[in-house]
């Protein structure tokens, strides 16, 4: 998997909302990281949660399997497959699996929140890597539009 900015080509993930597995061996897997966003697949085990947290980035979560409870800025909301939740940057949030099967979702961070190579088998592994500064978004994913244009990473003519 490349460690630099993404190539200017399509990233295709077919049937993300209908065909994700109802079980997965991984708590978190980064699928794609761009200059301004990141797509991450998450599986919250039965009785598990993602952890009470606050990010400095926006986050949109689409649930594809299972049921759970979202708590965002102190307000609770039941969630299920097909639901979309948005968590603005700087907002406390927690998602808990309240059902009998894994709670599976994909989330889009904007900008990136994790290292592009991140795969965490468990929440505990993810927490440890975050606490130790191992799971950090790359510097290139936190640059401004002007910086990316100046570096030639973004061109309005689409020619690279």
Mean pLDDT score of the chain? 92
| CB contact at 8 A, 124 and 50 | no
Which has the higher per-residue pLDDT, 21 or 55? Answer: 55
84/73 Cα distance (integer angstroms): 16
Report strand pairing: 84-87 vs 119-120: unpaired
Specify the pTM: 0.91
pLDDT over 70 (residue 2): no
pLDDT digits (tens, 9 = 90+) for 20-48: 665 567 999 999 999 999 999 999 999 99
Segment 65-93 mean pLDDT = 97
So what's the pLDDT on residue 160? 86
Mean pLDDT of 142-152: 93
What does the pLDDT look like over 56-66, one tens digit per residue? 999 999 999 99
Q: Is the pLDDT of residue 1 over 60?
A: no
Question: Residue range 103-111: average pLDDT?
Answer: 95
CA distance linking residue 23 with residue 6, whole number of Å: 29
pLDDT band at 69 (very low <50, low <70, confident <90, very high): very high
Say which residue, 56 or 17, is predicted with more confidence: 56
Burial of 148 (0-12, 13-18, 19+ CB in 10 A): middle
């Amino acid at each position: 998997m490349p460690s630099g900015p993404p190539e200017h080509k399509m990233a295709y993930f077919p049937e993300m909302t209908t065909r994700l597995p109802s079980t997965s061996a991984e708590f978190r897997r980064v699928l794609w990281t761009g200059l301004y966003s990141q797509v991450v697949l998450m599986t919250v085990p039965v009785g598990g949660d993602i952890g009470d947290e606050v990010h400095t980035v926006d986050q949109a979560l689409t649930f594809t399997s299972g049921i759970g409870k979202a708590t965002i800025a102190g307000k609770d909301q039941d969630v299920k497959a097909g639901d979309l939740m948005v968590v603005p940057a700087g907002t406390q949030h927690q998602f808990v699996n309240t059902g009998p099967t894994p709670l599976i979702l994909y989330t889009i961070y904007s900008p990136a929140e994790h290292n592009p190579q991140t795969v965490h088998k468990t929440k505990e592994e993810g927490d440890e890597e975050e606490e130790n500064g191992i799971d950090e978004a790359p510097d290139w994913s936190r640059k401004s539009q002007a910086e990316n244009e100046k570096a030639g990473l973004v061109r309005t003519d689409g020619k690279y």
